[in-house]
Structure 1
Amino acid sequence: MPAFSWLALFFGAFYFVYGAYLPFWSLWLEGMGVSAEQIGMLLGVGMGIRFAGNLMVMGRIKGAGQLLPVTRLLCLLSLLAFLGFYLGHSLWWLVVLTLVANFIYPTLMPVGEALATRMVIQTQLDYGKVRLCGSFAFIVASTLVGTLITDLGSDWVLHVMVLGLALMVLLSWLPLDPAPRDVVGERARPSLRETLKSAAVRRFLLVTALLQGSHGAYYGFSAIHWKAAGYSGTAIGYLWALGVVAEIAMFAADKRYFSRFGAQTLFLVGALGCLVRWSLLGASTDLTLLLLAQLLHGVTFCISHLGAVRFMTRDLPPEQLIGAQALYAALSLGIMVAALMTLSGQLYGPLGGGIFYLMALAVLPVFFLRRHVDMGLSGRD
């Protein structure tokens, strides 16, 4: 199967599952009788263990040829892990399963991204277009699950996820053509520690950690906050879907309109979007402001993520791609989100929507740091 089609299906299946998990897992936990503080702890622990999972799994991948077998194994183990949530709902059982599931399942994200960035190098793949297939699947799942929660209850969050994971297992075994391979003349892949020695990589990770980490309150508590304000599960699903519609628009426009911009410019735009978006969400639950804030998801997440992809594919040598992808997933999309999500859980009780103002403060250093992201590398921007 051509690389574009394979990756479109893979991203579609992964983000269909993620579209059920990310907006609504907190509501599933709430339906199991878990308190807001415990939800924050579970979500934070889950995001934190991604750090170990991403580094341990990605750190053991010695070359591009290992990406596909690892993907297939992770799909199967992810399905088995989430099936375990049917077996019990005690707090300690939820803690154990949260650790196991989040060690395995989220690692599919950096592995999939590593496959995609490898295909950008091998086949000049249009990353934005293939990635938007995942965003579209996220919309389908969030809208579907929001309706199912309203009509049938929060149990359907887990049901939809398990069905999606079963589909992922089947899709992962489709042949990929061309198979991922190391570039001719590519030097041996450095270790994660060696990759982290690069000052430019460290600055890149700090900037992206602040940008992506600031989504912690949104990922963990927007559904609970909006539900408390009187919005139904269906409405919450539509709000999340609107955010991803904006994301799709940005991914679709990437090659035509944004390809001339480097990482520094994209990070600046992402930071500005974060300041506005989190301020809006902290200020009000008025529907008009929520709609505007959700449209800004295309800036806060997508433009920031495109900046990360731009840095990794343009400003790094190919042999550092897998290592940088692992560190980006573990630190920027993992442990920083976990830390700010856990903090949001502790402060949601006394502050309510005020936790979003803290997320806006978190991105302020980006305005200085982003200017030094590619210093010593390509010099773009």
Structure 2
Amino acid sequence: MFTVAAKSWLTLYFVAFYFVWGVFLPFWGVWLSGQGISAEDIGLLFSVGLVLRFVSSMGLLPLVSSGSSILRLLRVLSFLTLLAFAVLFYLQGYLWLSVITLTINFVIGPLVPLGDIIGTRLVNQIQLDYGRVRLWGSLSFIAGSSCIGWLIVEYGQPSILWLIVGASAVMWTVSLLKLTPQLDDGQTQEQGVKQSLLSLLKQRNVLLFLIVVGSIQGSHGAYYAFSSIYWKGIGISESNIAWLWAIAVAAEVLLMRFNKKLFTNWSIKQMILLGLCAGIARWWVISFTDNVYLLAVVQTFHAFTFAVTHLAAIRYISQQKNIDMVPYQTLYSGVALGLLMALFTYVSGIFYEQLQGQVFLIMSLLLIPVLWCLKIWKTA
């Protein structure tokens, strides 16, 4: 087994994973639609899949404590992700497509927080600049979404599955590489993590934190599940759809690259307020326009709706005692990025057939009450 520097390993992992994510997230709904799955069923599969990401994150992440156990879980889940995608070459029909899509969501869910956990440990261990490593993942997301947009035009929707299987094979291969130096075990308390999750949820400020950041991130549910389908339905080409996704992530990359210069003097609440207001505006504009240029402009708001909100959440988590960082990360991944996004996605799936683009207006309206939650939330 080859050995690579820890920083290079994490960079390669982010590149491999987010290439898969860049194909799966924007275009899996398109692929399912091409297999005859209705928009309502796609919304249901996406929302149930998000619940399963919540279940897997909440169930599996507390089990890891040592550096070796983190890497072992990541390698197993990477292999299962590859296997689940690959069997779709042989298994067809609504039942199999549904079961395998849900399985994919279950096994892929913890792969994002596992990468973040490894990154957090390397920050302390080798003084890693996490932001600069993570932005390579965002660039890879752009590459994946742009590449599949071109392939669909040239070779049709079957290319989605072919590319995602190939990229998953690369991700699994990268996960097998050894790190140098090896991951430290850190200062987690394996026996106390599970018990602390419920106690944390009972704390008012923690609950408000999850509601606020979870609502902002969850409002992306309609965007992730239906934006490509909606834009294609109103006459926007697959290549332009891919570019719209790429523009959003490019804005995210630029913000992450310069976030220290831009937000060093901002408070956590100010950063989240920016993400919240940008979300209200972004989904409202998407709900009424089919102008590609206007959509391109508003897609740059992804830097605020996703990136700024995520950076603020990570900053908040990092301010907790080291012993509490694992359960905080677990709740953020499972509840905010999983359960609440599942709820928003389910709502969008129920109404998409009837409302089409107006479902994004619902996302915008659902964020307005969150302003009050943010007002009463105390960050310290």
Task: Tell me which interval the TM-score lies in, with the shorter structure as reference length.
Answer: over 0.9
Map of 2:359 onto structure 1: 355
Q: Residues 193 and 64 of structure 1: is their aligned pair in 2 closer, same or farther, counting only changes over 3 Å?
A: farther
Map of 2:14 onto structure 1: 11
Map of 2:63 onto structure 1: 60
The 1-side partners of 2:134 and 2:377 are apart by 24
Is the contact between residue 131 and residue 257 of structure 2 (CA under 8 Å) also seen in structure 1? Answer: yes
Aligned counterpart in structure 2 of residue 213 of structure 1, from 208, 211, 218: 218
1:263-292: CA deviations, max 9, x gaps?
212111100110111111012111122011
Q: Residues 107 and 187 of structure 1: is their aligned pair in 2 closer, same or farther, counting only changes over 3 Å?
A: closer
Aligned counterpart in structure 2 of residue 272 of structure 1, from 270, 273, 277: 277
Q: Residues 337 and 262 of structure 1: is their aligned pair in 2 closer, same or farther, counting only changes over 3 Å?
A: same
Is the contact between residue 66 and residue 186 of structure 2 (CA under 8 Å) also seen in structure 1? Answer: no
Aligned counterpart in structure 1 of residue 31 of structure 2, from 28, 33, 36: 28
1:212-241: CA deviations, max 9, x gaps?
000011001100111011111111111100
The 1-side partners of 2:228 and 2:329 are apart by 29
Q: Residues 9 and 259 of structure 1: is their aligned pair in 2 closer, same or farther, counting only changes over 3 Å?
A: farther
Map of 1:134 onto structure 2: 137
Map of 2:327 onto structure 1: 323
Map of 1:87 onto structure 2: 90
Q: CA RMSD in A?
A: 1.8
Is the contact between residue 251 and residue 303 of structure 2 (CA under 8 Å) also seen in structure 1? Answer: yes
Map of 2:253 onto structure 1: 248
The 1-side partners of 2:267 and 2:189 are apart by 25
Number of positions where the alignment pairs a residue of Structure 1 with one of Structure 2: 374
Structure 2 portions without partners, runs of 5+: none
Map of 1:311 onto structure 2: 316
The 2-side partners of 1:203 and 1:84 are apart by 41
The 2-side partners of 1:311 and 1:70 are apart by 26
Is 1:181 the equivalent of 2:184?
A: yes
Is the contact between residue 16 and residue 137 of structure 1 (CA under 8 Å) also seen in structure 2? Answer: yes
What amino acid is the match of 2:22?
G
The 2-side partners of 1:374 and 1:158 are apart by 45
Is the contact between residue 311 and residue 374 of structure 1 (CA under 8 Å) also seen in structure 2? Answer: no
Is 1:335 the equivalent of 2:339?
A: yes
The Cα shift of 1:183 comes to 4.2
- What does residue range 97-108 of structure 1 map to in structure 2 within 5 Å? 97-108=100-111
What amino acid is the match of 2:229?
I
1:155-211: CA deviations, max 9, x gaps?
111111111111111111222233332446x66653232443443322211111101
SS at match of 1:190: helix
SS at match of 2:258: helix
Q: Residues 187 and 337 of structure 1: is their aligned pair in 2 closer, same or farther, counting only changes over 3 Å?
A: closer
SS at match of 1:176: strand
Is the contact between residue 196 and residue 202 of structure 1 (CA under 8 Å) also seen in structure 2? Answer: yes
What amino acid is the match of 2:53?
R
- What does residue range 191-210 of structure 1 map to in structure 2 within 5 Å? 191=194, 192-210=197-215
Map of 1:75 onto structure 2: 78
Task: After superposing the two structures, state which structure 1 stretch, 173-182 or 205-214, moved more.
Answer: 173-182
The Cα shift of 1:371 comes to 4.2
Is the contact between residue 45 and residue 98 of structure 1 (CA under 8 Å) also seen in structure 2? Answer: no
SS at match of 1:261: coil
Is 1:366 the equivalent of 2:343?
A: no
The 2-side partners of 1:283 and 1:263 are apart by 31
Is the contact between residue 268 and residue 312 of structure 2 (CA under 8 Å) also seen in structure 1? Answer: yes
Q: TM-score, normalised by structure 1?
A: 0.93
The 2-side partners of 1:201 and 1:178 are apart by 34
The Cα shift of 1:357 comes to 0.9
Structure 1 portions without partners, runs of 5+: none
SS at match of 1:75: helix
Is the contact between residue 153 and residue 239 of structure 2 (CA under 8 Å) also seen in structure 1? Answer: yes
1:114-157: CA deviations, max 9, x gaps?
11122223333222211110000000010000111111111111
The Cα shift of 1:62 comes to 3.2
Is 1:167 the equivalent of 2:170?
A: yes
Is the contact between residue 228 and residue 241 of structure 2 (CA under 8 Å) also seen in structure 1? Answer: yes
- What does residue range 224-243 of structure 1 map to in structure 2 within 5 Å? 224-243=229-248
The 1-side partners of 2:219 and 2:178 are apart by 37
Is 1:149 the equivalent of 2:152?
A: yes
